[in-house]
Structure 1
């Protein structure tokens, strides 16, 4: 445990520069007295670090000193190669940078860790898009991503589903989300924080204006709230149905037993529900609303006539 902590302390100083004993203790979750002992141990091992007292004091490494230690465990090395997504990086314009970073990481790893990491990487492939959906081109993704990294505003020419279909809007791009093979931009604009499908962006004009993301903004939390709001707007009504055990399983409903289960499920519209419930075939019976039940009954009669004989 102590050896791992010493490596972590060394890497903290290498990556962050000057740090006080209290900051190091908080990061390592140890006492300040333990940090003092660890610093002495590193100094005795020949690591060129020094400490200074006073308001601007703290510990730091001698300028120019770099260690090739990665401090990675077997699991951490495997995870580092596993999380690298070449497809997404290429779309963002970072394909060469990712390849270079992985090459450097691979070179710095000890032989045993390198073998474990490469074995994991060769045995895992992420193919995010669904089977029946073509991936739409995202020609403006790299420009949008550059604006996200640089914290610079852009003017978007965007195609939306409601009138007017094409709009032009100045936004401040806060972050990008990759969901099921499709890229989304989370940005602040005239109407507040909104989500834009990157494949619907028809043009991007970068601006010289820089912006500051508000304190407390959390991209993951914002995306979660967007998904919840989207589902709430998507499901505008309910349907009362009876389900076989297989139908309940396919709809994600807890079955009441080995027989039929009655459940109320959210639906987007009569048209969407008509298509969705037909996919369940004889494993579902719609009880309400009456309009949906009549539509499915009419379709069933048409199919029976078509396949008769």
Structure 2
């Protein structure tokens, strides 16, 4: 079937090209061509440099219906790496062939052109994706509404949990499992799941659960919960845009909401939140002479000390 769909989608192909695509030998390709021909499919091969395997012009099979798994995989068509992580790589490839085979020639060419010119690379720069050896087990439990018994690694220990998997989210190349533990719905980094096995029990998904809405709310709540310290600062209005380069969106939103009108010198006073004074100091140093910490005293002292050490490095005498 896959050989038939490739020929229908792409037209004449050499036996070598088909063998590489299907990951079989050239001999297997010719054997399959003979089997298709014996089954009544008008397929033939021509020898020589310009030859190849092809269908009689105008022939189209109607056997292009998507299976349930293939239909699910089409939703991940823009993220082939994600599909492979979930064990759907081969299924996705077959589904894409079926979709292309079902398109009229002019639309098929356009779809192929888009695939050749647009590629989505989800992970951020300088980011190495987690090792996720349990992801296939987690995904299988998710597809079939099965309870999972997992061992989950925290910073200081490994804990045992029995979870109802409700969804998987890929954020900047990292997989997270959204699952119910008791009555609470929480997020678990899949790379920290040491082991996972189905309990043999199934569960009923909450009828009103929306994965995208839950993730958006949980992500916002998490970002705000990380903003544990605050500093009162003066920043040149011309450099306020730099806040977005060194701070989380939630911190920027809070800071700008607290900002005063620019004074006579064009400076704005605001309260900038962050996860720690160390992080704050690092970010504010990038403003150079265009930012001043007013409060708290310990952060102001840290900034002064760092500036003095930098001055000593560049002006040793």
Give the TM-score of the pair, scaled to structure 1: 0.69
| 1:120 equivalenced with 2:114 (yes/no) | yes
What is the root-mean-square deviation in Å for CA atoms of aligned residues?
2.5
8 A contact 2:178–2:185 mirrored in 1: yes
Q: Is the 8 A contact 2:64 2:98 kept in 1?
A: no
Deviations along 1:176-205, one digit per CA (max 9) or x if unpaired, are: 011111110000113611110001111111
Matched, 1:213 2:205: yes
| 1:68 CA displacement | 6.7
Name the SS for the 2:222 alignment partner. Answer: helix
Give 1:295's match in structure 2, choosing from 276, 285, 302: 302
Change (3 A) 1:205 1:274: same
The residue that corresponds to 1:197 in the other structure is: 189
- 1:232 shift after superposition: 2.1
In structure 1, list runs of 5 or more residues that go unmatched: 1-65, 71-79
Q: Which residue in the other structure is 1:261 paired with?
A: 268
Candidates 248, 255, 260, aligned match of 2:240:
248
> CA-to-partner distance for each residue in 1:21-74, whole Å, 9 max, x for gaps?
xxxxxxxxxxxxxxxxxxxxxxxxxxxxxxxxxxxxxxxxxxxxx89799xxxx
Residue pairs, 1:43-58, within 5 angstroms:
none
TM-score under structure 2 length normalisation: 0.67
Structure 1 Cα separation of the partners of residues 290 and 105 of structure 2: 55
Hey, what's the Cα distance between the residues in 2 that align with 1:199 and 1:68?
37
> For structure 1, which segment, 195-204 or 106-115, has the greater mean C-alpha deviation from structure 2 after superposition?
106-115
Aligned to 1:146: 140
User: 1:81 and 1:217, CA in 2 relative to 1: closer, same or farther beyond 3 A?
Assistant: closer
Deviation at 1:246, TM superposition (A): 5.1
Q: Is 1:91 aligned to residue 85 of structure 2?
A: yes
Judged with a 3 Å threshold, the aligned counterparts in structure 2 of structure 1 residues 173 and 273 are, in CA distance, closer, same or farther, namely same
SS in 2 for 1:131: coil
SS for the counterpart of 2:81 is helix
Report Cα offsets for 1:74-109 as digits up to 9, x if no partner.
Answer: xxxxxx799531111111111111111111111111
The match for 2:277 among 264, 270, 273 is: 270
Q: How does 1:43-192 map to 2 (within 5 A)?
A: 83-161=77-155, 163=156, 165-190=157-182, 192=184
Q: Which runs of 5+ in 2 are unaligned?
A: 1-61, 67-73, 245-251
| Matched-pair contact (CA < 8 Å) for 2:227–2:275 | yes
Q: Indicate the SS of the match to 1:188.
A: strand
Count of paired positions: 233
| Equivalent position SS for 1:171 | strand
For the Cα contact (< 8 Å) 1:175–1:185, is it kept in 2? yes
